[in-house]
Amino acid sequence: MTTDVFRRRGTALEDEFFRRVDEKLAQALREKWQHERDVESLKQESRIEDVTVIEEMRSVGIHPGMIRAITLVPAIHVAWANGFIEKQERDAVQHAAHSIGISEESTTGHLLASWLDHQPTPDLLQAWADYVAELHKVLDLVSYRHLHNNAVDTARNIAEAAGGVLGVYSVSVAEEGAIRQIDQAFLT
């Protein structure tokens, strides 16, 4: 009788163990499938086939449906060039986001708000630069130049948003350096 009770308890413990293992394996499989779907979606949205660039984008928070956010990385980079963001720069970035259809309530809007609240790591600019390099391979020259000019103009508008003293020194040395980095990303 007691061996039968022990056997049932042992079987129950064994069943519970394998149920948990199965759940973990199923979760890992779901995560793997989601990752693969995200990669494919980002490849389609961005028109980039290089999985390394796609993975780099994912690592800095760019997921499907957020591809428009990466177009604002130059604005974010310039806004943080001095180590802080002034209210006018924040407003200018949000205006730029709104002008390309990013609402504050959207997932992309929340990502942008996070970038405005907390200075992104240099990895974000690197992911953006790699994205630009890949775009150079897939866009025609006119579209690529338009993207280049738009990125530099937006960055300059953000830098000029905080003003200066009577229009003098409206763009700081750090902001000029950040604008040059953005410009250079399109030339390499």
Please give the structure tokens belonging to residue 7.
């056997």
Instruction: Lowest mean pLDDT of 30-39, 44-53, 105-114, 159-168, name the range.
Output: 159-168
Give the mean model confidence (pLDDT) for residues 24-49.
81
d(CA 155, CA 175): 9
d(CA 50, CA 89): 33
The per-residue pLDDT for 89 is: 92
Tell me the residue type at 159.
Answer: A
d(CA 109, CA 104): 4
> Would you say residue 144 has pLDDT above 80?
yes
Identify the helix (H) or strand (E) that includes residue 91: helix 87-99
Which pTM value belongs to this model? 0.70
d(CA 55, CA 64): 12
> Would you say residue 66 has pLDDT above 70?
no
Which is more confident, 55 or 162?
Answer: 55
The per-residue pLDDT for 2 is: 64
Among 11, 117, 122, smallest CA distance to 59 is for 122
Give the mean model confidence (pLDDT) for residues 116-125.
94
Tell me the residue type at 111.
Answer: L
Please give the structure tokens belonging to residue 175.
């902001």
In which band, very low, low, confident or very high, does the pLDDT at 57 lie, cut at 50, 70 and 90?
confident
Give the mean model confidence (pLDDT) for residues 86-110.
89
